[in-house]
Structure 1
Amino acid sequence: NFVNGALRNPSAAASQFTNAIIGAALAEGLGIFAFLIAILLFLKQ
């Protein structure tokens, strides 16, 4: 995980943090998108 990588190589922590934030944002965005699709399908009935 991010913490282990940052502790092993502190000089690379900045780029790892950026990648972790981007990954978290993509995961959250996918969940919100799926939720919106489910709501649209539910309201269409």
Structure 2
Amino acid sequence: MLLSVLLQAATAGIELGTLGAAIGAGIAAIGAGFGIGKIGGSAMDAIARQPEAANNIRMNMIIAAALVEGVALFAVVVCFLAL
């Protein structure tokens, strides 16, 4: 599938660097979404097991999600700078 996209982009006159930057930005966004979803799911499991620790778990979840989102934003910016 990826090879067909590359072939279509090459025949349309789009440079491969531009296509690579766009694919990289998409992969970074998908990875961030998966990571934040995993963090949220694990936090909900932990809160279900120990409801008394909900505040600490929630705080740690928000910090970890912010770090993942920051790395994803950095990756998207680097991809756009490659254009």
TM-score interval, smaller chain: 0.7 to 0.9
Instruction: For 1:24, give the aligned amino acid.
Output: A
RMSD of aligned residue pairs (Cα, Å): 0.8
Report the counterpart of residue 12 of structure 1 in structure 2.
53
Identity of aligned residues (%): 36
1:29 Cα deviation from its structure 2 partner: 0.8
1:41 Cα deviation from its structure 2 partner: 1.6
Report the counterpart of residue 3 of structure 1 in structure 2.
44
Q: Under a length normalisation based on structure 2, what TM-score does the superposition of the two structures give?
A: 0.48
Name stretches of at least 5 consecutive residues in structure 1 with no aligned partner.
none
Which structure 1 residue ranges, 4+ long, deviate > 2 Å from structure 2? none
1:7 Cα deviation from its structure 2 partner: 1.3
Report the counterpart of residue 24 of structure 1 in structure 2.
65
Distance 2:49 2:81 in 1: 46
Deviations 1:1-45 (A, max 9, x none): 111111111111101001101111111111110110111121xxx
Report the counterpart of residue 76 of structure 2 in structure 1.
35
Q: Which has the higher contact order (CA 8 A, sep 6+)?
A: 2
Q: Under a length normalisation based on structure 1, what TM-score does the superposition of the two structures give?
A: 0.81
